[in-house]
Amino acid sequence: MSQARNVLTSSEQHIDSERLWQSLMDLARLGATPKGGVCRLALTDLDRQARDLFVQWSEAAGCQVSVDGVGNIFARRPGRNPELPPVMTGSHIDTQPTGGKFDGCFGVLAGLEVLRTLNDLGIETEAPLEVVVWTNEEGSRFAPCMMGSGVFAGKFTLHDTLAKRDAQGVSVGEALNAIGYAGEREVLGHPVGAYFEAHIEQGPILEDQAKTIGVVLGALGQKWFDLTLRGVEAHAGPTPMHLRKDALVGAAAVVAAVNRAAHAHQPHACGTVGCLQAYPGSRNVIPGEVRMTLDFRHLQGERLDAMIAQVREVIEATCAEHGLSFELTPTADFPALYFDRGCVDAVRDSAQALGLPHMDIVSGAGHDAIFLAELGPAGMIFVPCENGISHNEIENATQQDLGAGCAVLLRAMLAASEAIASARLAA
């Protein structure tokens, strides 16, 4: 078989973008919705059918397939040196209830297309390559999200995870047994030489900047809060404005403060009030209580804390001004993550070698790669999606962009395999 460096010397992409596209369309038929999207919730029979199809395709590509105790599927293409840790790639094939064809699925099938391309080219890698389907990334049916990769990374225990139940009372363990994907492979202790995840951006930046490839530097840190503001319910007519204790007026000031803080801490800052309920919810009653959620994100931890401090100052000031009290309760805290420099460089170098327009970018959403980054070197590749829309039945991406992202993945994985082998020799 050929050496990779002797084959991939030109800017030719090599991968079969038509084959990749057709695989995506074939997978999208399982759970297809009338609006052109996909509803394929984790561990349903439709998920089983999609898993079976991935296994069938992987075995046809000569892979050894195994399944672990939380249902993660691993398709391994052997390398020359089986002692080396694998270069891994993957994502998920479960969807939102009104999801699209590409979120997650592109990362899985791009990995499969890499293996198919290597077979076509007759390339044998030094390290094994492995494509993974992670269980329940979306968290739509079972909470939490990123369940399979979380168990693999030791973030969640298998025992507790299998006991999680959906809205109908069905447990993860019961659902895995029902679809035949409660595997025997151990969930912990597997070496990770490197991990790459290809994904649609799920945002509008690449499209806006006319770039084909996003070189993902890392993922935004996230801190979430529940905020309750309490005033006094009163009649909307007889109560003078200067004597009111209107919780919604205070909430309006907080919403504006969240928006200001995010604008003030660019780049990479995001601030969102996603939920807001005013009580009692009558048109002629001054709201006596407002419950709202606050979502802060930034790539730098100190800037993230500064945003929160700025908003908290406004909360305290507006409560003092309007005679309100408040409770601010933390609900989530995910530190900012920087991906491995070697993996980031491999993605950037691959895009440059292929002559593809590219830019550095950060992920504002959670991905399985975030957990894998704690086990070994990791990186991500973004490609544009139409109007930045995802988690939506109209989610769309072009065959050309998906093919380009897959071609970058191919080169990055080959570079990582050679780097792993060289490091072993040097040691």
- State the pLDDT at residue 7: 63
| Domain locations along the chain | 4-219+336-426, 221-334
Q: How confident is the model at residue 308 (pLDDT cuts 50, 70, 90)?
A: very high
The number of CA neighbours under 13 Å toward the Cβ of 63 is: 28
**pLDDT above 70 (res 427):** no
CA distance 98 to 38: 6
**pLDDT above 70 (res 1):** no
**pLDDT above 70 (res 5):** no
The arrangement of secondary structure in 4-219+336-426, i.e. its CATH architecture, is 3-Layer(aba) Sandwich (3.40)
- State the pLDDT at residue 421: 86
Compute the chain's Rg from CA coordinates.
Answer: 24
Considering the chain, what is the average pLDDT of its residues? 95
Please write the tens of the pLDDT for every residue from 138-150.
999 998 989 999 9
- Find the range with the poorest average confidence among 109-123, 299-313, 412-426: 412-426
Please write the tens of the pLDDT for every residue from 18-62.
999 999 999 999 999 999 999 999 999 999 999 999 999 999 999
Which comes out higher in pLDDT, residue 423 or 121?
A: 121
Please write the tens of the pLDDT for every residue from 198-253.
999 999 999 999 999 999 999 999 999 999 999 999 999 999 999 999 999 999 99
What mean pLDDT is predicted for residues 371-392? 96
- Which is it for the CA torsion 20, 26, 31, 35, positive or negative? positive
**pLDDT above 60 (res 6):** no
- State the pLDDT at residue 119: 97
Please write the tens of the pLDDT for every residue from 170-182.
999 999 999 999 9
Check for a shared fold between 4-219+336-426 and 221-334.
no
- State the pLDDT at residue 103: 98
CA distance 161 to 178: 16
Collect all residues with Cβ–Cβ distance below 8 Å to 40 and sequence separation of at least 6.
30, 31, 46, 47, 50, 93, 94, 95, 99
Which comes out higher in pLDDT, residue 427 or 322?
A: 322
- State the pLDDT at residue 17: 98
- State the pLDDT at residue 254: 98
The arrangement of secondary structure in 221-334, i.e. its CATH architecture, is 2-Layer Sandwich (3.30)
Q: How confident is the model at residue 10 (pLDDT cuts 50, 70, 90)?
A: confident
Please write the tens of the pLDDT for every residue from 59-92.
999 999 999 999 999 999 999 999 999 999 999 9
CA of 106: how far to CAs of 14, 100, 237, in Å? 17, 11, 57
**pLDDT above 60 (res 9):** yes
